[in-house]
Chains A and B, each alone.
Chain A
Amino acid sequence: MDKGKLLALSVVAVLFAVLAFSSPQAFLSRYNIGTLLDYAATYFIAAIGLTFVIMIGSIDLSVGGMLSLFTVVFVLALNYFGFWAYFITIGLGFLLGMANGLVFTKLKIPSFIGTFGTSGVFASLALIVSGGRPIGLRPQALSLLNPLTFELGPIKGSHLLAFVLFGIFFLIQNSTPFGKYVAAIGHSERATLLSGIKVDRTKIFCFALSGLSAALASIVLVSRMLSGDPTIGTPYQLQVIAAVVVGGTALTGGVGGVFNTLLGTLIITLVGNGLYVVGIDVYYQMIITGIITMVAVILTLDRTKIKVVK
């Protein structure tokens, strides 16, 4: 394990220890640990695909828009098509992510602008489809969420899903040709292109994975809220990017990965949750969040491999 990951891991450990010692009753309560895991699972699942996009040096600003849209789509699909809703939502996520990738590679629009544009489209579609109101789940559809809501002690199905996805994406990153191409493009797109790699196809697939993981995160969100909310995504957007970056994945590409994102997610959720648990004045919370975020990046980002920090 390299230095960056080790540091990120120690940040997680220190945060956890501080919280556990300062207010053991509140922080270590079964309810709080459950909440913590709920949030961490959602953030992590949403951020896991984005990690690949950031690894190639691009960005996906439409994750928030997709979250809004897919919670609505998933609930509607559950109400009308039952179990097929899972396939519909995940498939749609993959396709819309691919659309992002096509806008980026074929129209040659920088991903920052391209996904900023599609983000608006997705957010609007969410409002149009839902009529601007949260959509409730029919009671008879509730049982369809069992795979995500069943409980084993404090662990829920959705937490297990996050864990399984971590394993799968970790393998994708480290042991598939696609994962190798992602790292190569992130370090040097020219050299990768000249090695005969289909660079555009790889990039499109990264965005498709980001869409897919947004869809999965939406499904987890619905399993918690039991409704689809067309405005839920917006506050998630920056949190999800922060989870990736705080873990030590460089916005310039090449450096980082899904393990970093796992640690980044834990840092973000521990900080967010911890400030409430310890009882810090709401007015001061954002100061502390900001500072901890910066310190975490100082510790986790391996700058030896990055020429320019942008």
Chain B
Amino acid sequence: MEPVLRMENISKTFPGVRALEDVNIEVFPNEIVGLVGENGAGKSTLVKILAGVYRADKGEIFLRGQKVGIKNPNDARALGIGMVFQEQAVLPNMRVYENLFLGREKFFVRRGTLDQKLMMQEATKILEEVGLELSPQVYVHELNFMERQMVEIARNIWLARQARVDYPIIILDEPTTVLEEEEIERLFNKLRELKKRVSFIYISHRLKEVVELCDRVYVLKDGQNAGCFFHEEVSEELLRSRMVGRELHEEYYLASKQREPAEKVVLELRNCTKRDAFYDISFRLHQGEILSLCGTVGSGKEELCRALYGEVKLDSGEIWMERERVNINSPDQAFALGIGYISEDRRNEGLILHLPIFENITLPIVHRLVWGFLVKRKEQFRLSQEMINKLRIKAPSPSVLCFNLSGGNQQKVVIAKWLLSQVKVLIMSHPTRGVDVGAKHEIYALIREMAENGMAMIVMGDSFEEDIGLANRIIVMKDGRISGVLDATESKPAPSDLIQYVV
């Protein structure tokens, strides 16, 4: 059988990061093809090239045997390639049929006005086809996430048909992240039904679902092909080992440099509760300790960290720092107490992209670098240059805009900022997200070094492996409560030990 899609030797480099190197994939008719890999393995880059968001530096794309050039999302759409994004692209304040035909209203114009009746007819037809039993009149905000996803899929199928493609390819990017167990099952049934007419590329971190659903699974690792398995032979363990591509030897996280934390308690939580987020949380954080917070989305760990940084107000409970009870009502109060926070959204919350490195690094302490009223620019430069050398940030000078740095170097700037302001407690939400493997390793080394110098850290890692590898101690949260505490200083627990507390 001939593949619907063949991507050959696709390569793509971003400034400082090689995202893809000679990647090949094929998609056949009636197939759901899985695409898995760690963060930064190149999955999204690959599908974004297919969807016309990025352009490959090298490589060719064949659709139904014909070589095609996809320069922008419109080209992709005209070729019957659609993408359903993780962040859903439907507009909740509009009705289902309006969403279905958004941007394609021209098709329904009769005598200069929109023919609503025709739109409704067409909408009913396409909804029926994807097996969605709801009125096209309903507002999208009334739908659950699974239904919204189906609306997007329906929209993509309809668009493909308009482009006279009867065998569309639809990319699903982490479609189940926000779905309940039951909805996931319903979505899968619909997808199995639909694959008679559509080929799917399915990206997910949830290996269990990939194994269950996909006919074939591609593994990417560090921007390269790392295996392709049929439904019959695939298993979670197999995928995991291919994704990591190495025995998870502890040295990856520099466990040999791990230190026993000091006796001194720097931060203590006593029975902290925030309704609808977390309940009755108590723990102690010691000087030089790395504490991992594990749990699914909705376990309350994110809110807990935000409460420690003054962005969420506690309903009850006490926070103590070095034997003093403290109130934390805003990020500046948290900072004044010696707490720093690294957001997972580096580009919007971590740093100010359009300001130079030295302004970013010295921002929290710039009020201390003054002579009278005036900031000592030389001092700003000197301290920043010190940090650039120490953290090996790849930048020609401190006055380079952060915008021009790679993800890994941007993250180092964020860490440098907190290192320079000498915080005692650093909360890190996904510190290695979107960072390539080399930079990841350097960030782990930095975290170890900071711990050795006495900084206490709370980490929410990108994977269980990362959490286990880095931490002295792991606290697992489930439904807003602490469901387990594991020691990881003496010996490292296995991910399977953790999972029982997570779900």
Contact = CB atoms under 8 A, between A and B. Distances in A.
B350 A191 contact: yes
B363 interface: yes
B458 to A, nearest CB: 15
Which of B309, B331, B341, B421 has the most C-beta atoms of chain A within 10 angstroms of its own C-beta?
B331
Contact of B375 (A177, A191, A195, A199): A177
A180 interface: yes
Interface stretch (A124-132, A182-190, A265-273): A182-190
Given A180-B359, A194-B331, A195-B363, A187 B349 contact: no
Contacts of A175: 373-375, 377
A184 B360 CA distance: 9
B352 A191 contact: yes
13 contacts: A175-B374, A175-B377, A177-B367, A180-B363, A183-B355, A187-B355, A188-B352, A188-B353, A194-B331, A195-B331, A195-B417, A196-B332, A198-B332
Given A175-B377, A177-B375, A191-B348, 13 more contacts: A175-B375, A176-B370, A176-B373, A187-B355, A188-B349, A188-B353, A190-B349, A191-B352, A194-B309, A195-B363, A195-B417, A196-B332, A196-B336
A191 B349 contact: yes
A196 B417 CA distance: 11
B363 A197 contact: yes
The range of chain A's interface size is: 20 to 34
Q: Is the interface of A mostly helix, strand, loop or mixed?
A: helix
Interface in B177-205: none
A193 interface: yes
Contacts, number: 69
Nearest to A171: B374
Contacts of B359: 180, 183-184
A194 B332 CA distance: 8
Give 3 nearest A-B pairs by CB, closest first.
A196-B335, A177-B367, A175-B374
A90 B215 CA distance: 75
B327 interface: no
B354 interface: yes
Interface string B316-357: 000000000000000110111000110100001111111100
Nearest to A199: B332
Interface residues of B, number: 29
A196 B349 contact: no
A194 B343 CA distance: 8
Interface string A267-290: 000000000000000000000000
A184 B332 contact: no
A305 B331 CA distance: 27
Contacts of B373: 175-176
A43 B364 CA distance: 35
B366 interface: yes
Given A180-B375, A196-B332, A197-B364, A187 B341 contact: no
Given A194-B309, A194-B349, A177 B364 contact: no
Interface string A124-166: 0000000000000000000000000000000000000000000
A254 B363 CA distance: 15
A188 B352 CA distance: 6
A239 interface: no
B343 A305 contact: no
A52 B262 CA distance: 47
A86 B301 CA distance: 56
A196 to B, nearest CB: 3
A192 interface: yes
Interface string A189-214: 01111111111000000000000000
Given A177-B366, A177-B375, A194-B309, A184 B352 contact: yes
B362 to A, nearest CB: 8
B212 to A, nearest CB: 38
Contacts of A194: 309, 331, 341, 343, 349-350
A187 B366 contact: no
A205 to B, nearest CB: 13
Given A191-B350, A194-B343, A184 B363 contact: yes
Nearest to A177: B367
Contacts of A193: 331-332
Contacts of B374: 171, 175-176
B351 A191 contact: yes
A197 B340 CA distance: 12
Contacts of B334: 196
Contact of B366 (A180, A188, A198): A180
A196 B348 CA distance: 15
Contacts of A177: 366-367, 370, 375
Nearest to A201: B332
A176 B367 CA distance: 8
Nearest to A175: B374
Contacts of B375: 175-177, 180
Nearest to B336: A196
B241 to A, nearest CB: 37
A199 B310 CA distance: 14
Nearest to A198: B332
Nearest to A190: B349
Interface in A293-310: 305
Contacts of B367: 177
A293 to B, nearest CB: 26
B331 A187 contact: no
A180 B375 CA distance: 9
B366 A190 contact: no
A198 B309 CA distance: 14
Contacts of A195: 331, 335, 363-364, 417
Contacts of B349: 188, 190-191, 194
Interface string B362-393: 01101100100111010000000000000000
A173 B408 CA distance: 31
Nearest to B350: A191
Nearest to B362: A180
B144 to A, nearest CB: 29
A184 to B, nearest CB: 5
B353 A187 contact: yes
A192 B421 CA distance: 15
B348 A197 contact: no
A188 B364 contact: no
B331 A254 contact: no
